[in-house]
Structure 1
Amino acid sequence: MSGFVNNPFADPVDVNPFQDPAVTQATSTGIEHVEEFNPFSDNSTAVHIYETPVPTTTPSSQPAVLQPSVEPSPQATAAAAQADLLRQQEELEKKAAELDRKEKELQSRGASTGRENNWPPLPKSFPIRPCFYQDFNEEIPLEYQRVCKMMYYLWMFDCMTLFLNVLACLAFFTVKSTNGVDFGLAILWFILFTPCSFLCWYRPVYKAFKSDSSFSFFFFFFVFFIQVVVFIIQSVGIPKWGNSGWITAISIISENVAVGVVMMVVAGLFTVCATMSVILLKMVHSMYRRTGASFHKAQQEFSQGVLTNRTFQNAASTAAVSATQGAFQRN
């Protein structure tokens, strides 16, 4: 019994097994600073022993900076406008050159096929060559040939009447020396109306029937209406107007019957011209309504004809460039 020193009923000595030198040495040579792991804590706050978090880089954001609006200077605007006008001028020049080339090709084709100008019909030995080409059977559709020929005959009849009017006014001047004004004006009307009537109303109606041109139709109606009024004035015969009409013929017949008869014949010819012009105007208008022409088409044809004209293009481009350069110099 003497071998037992301690009292079994006494409090046992608090012995910590982890304070053993062998245990503390093993834990100190391994992983240092091992934190506690609580399985019941939130996973978002748990720290794993063997995992190292990868740092995430957030993109650096810079505050938005509003760029001030920069307006072009007047010099830059003028320079840009001038460059644009120069580019348009080059395009117009290219188109004009192309049109000239096509026109030369058409002329060469016409020369190769023998389509030379044939009006007026002048002899080959004459120094002046014909200015127009005219062929009713080739250029005018069959349904318009009759009316177009009648317009041509009316023009010829008017020219003959104007020439006879000069002779009648000359006879009127021989009876009374105070009637020299009528004789002078008669010569002027013959020189003026003969070519102008051909160019201003006969050729437009010829072109209108040839190409079904709305612009040519409208131009013809405008000018030929004035011609109808002129025919009526000439047939009336107002004194001192250079026309051998009914008034002047009746006023002289009591003094000289022969001169009065000649002037009455010319007055009758002017009356025939006025009557035929009214009839032909109505006939052309009825055919015009069947062709489908309109004022809108006439405007389009006029604008296209003007814009494609080389002289107009050069004048417009030169004026535009000059205006731009002047504005650039002022700025």
Structure 2
Amino acid sequence: MAENNFPPLPGFIPLKPCFYQDFEEIPDQHRTLCKRMYYLWILYSATLAVNFIGCMAWMFGGGGVTNFGMSIIWLILFTPCSYVCWFRPIYKAFKTDSSFNYMAFFFVFMAQIVIAIIQAIGIPGWGVCGWLGTITFFGTSIFASIIMLIPTIMFTAVSVLAFMAFTKIHNFYRGSGGSMSKAQEEWTTGAWKNPHVQQATQQAAMGAAQGAMQQQQYSTPTYDDNQM
């Protein structure tokens, strides 16, 4: 087993990384999309951090402390939870072609999209800036509202990008023959958590991809000069 390397914590912190992450172990056909999902998680985490600053400006501008306090909870809770609950499943799904992990990702990521949309809307008192909170606060403090506008735009971008990513991954999974029954079969047999089965599945998926590429290469028609 490889040694855990994520998150990359400084040496002076008495904690160790909890996960092993290396995009080189992801098959070539999924590596780019997997990296994009990781960047989406980084963007969402950064948005929560910027939202914390926006809610601080909201509080100092006269908006009360409720949103500021809730923004701390969003940042502390959803940064690690989003990594564990939807990025890790899609990482393992890409790695081992696991239907169970695909399904886990779909269910959780749908909730993530809904949450991101709610955060972009910005209901006052929920700890997020959002469009409602930002627009209504312009009459109180223009400076604070401008700062609040930054996480609002970022939440909107996360919502759009997350929906696009969900659509692309779902279309790929359905096009590859994936289904709920395959996920249920993996759950019943325990294949989704068996490292030996996962490794064999990964090798089979990579072999199938390489075979398809070779078949496409050899199936290219050639012509002799005498046939022209």
TM-score band, normalised by shorter chain: 0.7 to 0.9
Q: Does 2:156 match 1:262?
A: no
Q: Does 2:34 match 1:133?
A: no
Structure-1 separation of matches of 2:73 and 2:132: 20
Which AA in structure 1 matches 2:106? F
Q: Does 2:31 match 1:142?
A: no
TM-aligned CA deviation for residue 129 of structure 1: 1.2
TM-aligned CA deviation for residue 167 of structure 1: 1.1
> What TM-score, normalized to structure 2?
0.81
Q: Which residue of 1 aligns with 2:104?
A: 219
Structure-1 separation of matches of 2:11 and 2:70: 34
Which AA in structure 1 matches 2:154? L
Conserved in 2, the CA contact under 8 Å of 1:140 and 1:210?
yes
TM-aligned CA deviation for residue 298 of structure 1: 0.6
Q: Does 2:87 match 1:238?
A: no
Q: Which residue of 1 aligns with 2:60?
A: 174
Stretches of structure 2 lacking an aligned partner (at least 5 in a row): 195-228
Q: Secondary structure at the match of 2:190?
A: helix
Which AA in structure 2 matches 1:129? K
TM-aligned CA deviation for residue 125 of structure 1: 4.2
Which AA in structure 2 matches 1:134? Q
Structure-2 separation of matches of 1:240 and 1:250: 15
TM-aligned CA deviation for residue 216 of structure 1: 0.5
TM-aligned CA deviation for residue 264 of structure 1: 1.0
Percent of counterpart pairs with the same letter? 45
Structure-1 separation of matches of 2:53 and 2:164: 28
Conserved in 2, the CA contact under 8 Å of 1:120 and 1:130?
yes
Q: Does 2:5 match 1:118?
A: yes
TM-aligned CA deviation for residue 236 of structure 1: 0.6
Conserved in 2, the CA contact under 8 Å of 1:179 and 1:240?
no
Give a deviation string over 1:118-171, Cα, whole Å, max 9, x none.
11112344321111111111x211111111111100111111110111111111
Q: Does 2:159 match 1:274?
A: yes
Q: Does 2:89 match 1:200?
A: no
Q: Which residue of 2 aligns with 1:304?
A: 189
Stretches of structure 1 lacking an aligned partner (at least 5 in a row): 1-109, 310-331
Q: CA RMSD in A?
A: 1.8
Structure-2 separation of matches of 1:150 and 1:303: 31
TM-aligned CA deviation for residue 287 of structure 1: 1.9
> What TM-score, normalized to structure 1?
0.56
Pairing partner for 2:71 from 186, 194, 201: 186
Q: Which residue of 2 aligns with 1:84?
A: none
Higher relative contact order (CA 8 A, sep 6+): 2
Structure-2 separation of matches of 1:295 and 1:266: 36
